[in-house]
Amino acid sequence: MELKVEYISNIVGEEIQDEYGRSMGFLVSITGDIDGFVKQVEIKVADRSVERIPVERLRVKDGKLMIVPEWKYEAIKVIESLDRAYRRRKAVESVLSQGDIPGEVIETMKRRLTEEIKRLRVRAEEVKSIIRARINEIDDETLRLSSAIANLQVLYFSGEVGEKGYTHGMNQLRKLKNILEEEKSDAKKVLDRLEKILEIARAPEKYMKTARHAKEEKHAKREVEAKPPARVPSDDSIVVKIEE
């Protein structure tokens, strides 16, 4: 997405969150090109380091600047590219059926698209591994979170942690638990989308044949329905036999 430096310059120094409401740190600097568009931003992470975030991973929602998780950004990018390549391949087939363009021109286009789809499929498999790894990380984080909740409850019920500390700590733990659940659900949905678009990219002929077969069946059915029914003699018919 394109953002003007002036658009976000007034929030330098403010806290920046990701799509799930987690604090990513504080916006401390902006890098822009000569035309005034943001190229990347620098986020100070928990008084430890500065992380550079490319503008492609920034989103504006409800007037707030947010950061898209890297796994989701990479997944959406490859999904959109595969979908576009698949639609172009179908368009090339339609152009070929018109017969107006020389076959060698169409074959060159098909070959380029095939190579591009192969490259995207390889990248899609890599992104699938990244998403699955993130889901496993979330499961590990959730397990540690459950342990922290249990420890806090034990300390509270044993009288070693007061009401105020228990309430504040539990609120933070529950908030994180909800965030992890939301991200995991989102990751599974994106992974499902990625697998579906990969299935289409792997076997487009199957879908094209299915559609063509359905069209042929529909056409054949119309032809049958259009034919007048065969005339069947009624019981009152008189049969005349002529003998020589």
Can you give the CATH number for the domain in which 21 is found?
Answer: 2.30.30.240
Q: Is residue 217 part of a domain?
A: no
- pLDDT of 113 above 70: yes
DSSP for residue 159? T
pLDDT category at 244 given cuts 50, 70, 90 is very low
Compare 107 and 79 and report the one with higher pLDDT. 79
Residue at a domain's end among 29, 45, 68: 68
186: its two tokens: 């989102």
Residue at a domain's end among 68, 89, 120: 68
Radius of gyration of the chain (CA): 31
CB 38 within 8 A of CB 58: yes
- pLDDT of 79 above 80: yes
Q: Is residue 222 part of a domain?
A: no
CA atoms 221, 227, 228, 231: torsion sign: negative
Question: Strand (E) positions, the chain?
Answer: 15-18, 23-32, 38-45, 49-54, 58-61, 64-67
Write down the pTM of the prediction: 0.73
Domain span at 24 = 5-68
Q: Is residue 238 part of a domain?
A: no
**Reduced DSSP (H G I as helix, E B as strand, rest coil) percent helix, strand, coil of the chain, to 5:** 65, 15, 20
Report how many domains make up the chain.
Answer: 2
Work out the average pLDDT over 101-109.
82
Please check whether residues 167 and 101 belong to one and the same domain: yes
Please check whether residues 50 and 118 belong to one and the same domain: no
- pLDDT of 233 above 80: no
pLDDT tens digits, residue range 139-185? 999 999 999 999 999 999 999 899 999 999 999 999 999 999 999 99
- pLDDT of 212 above 80: no
Q: pLDDT value at position 221?
A: 58
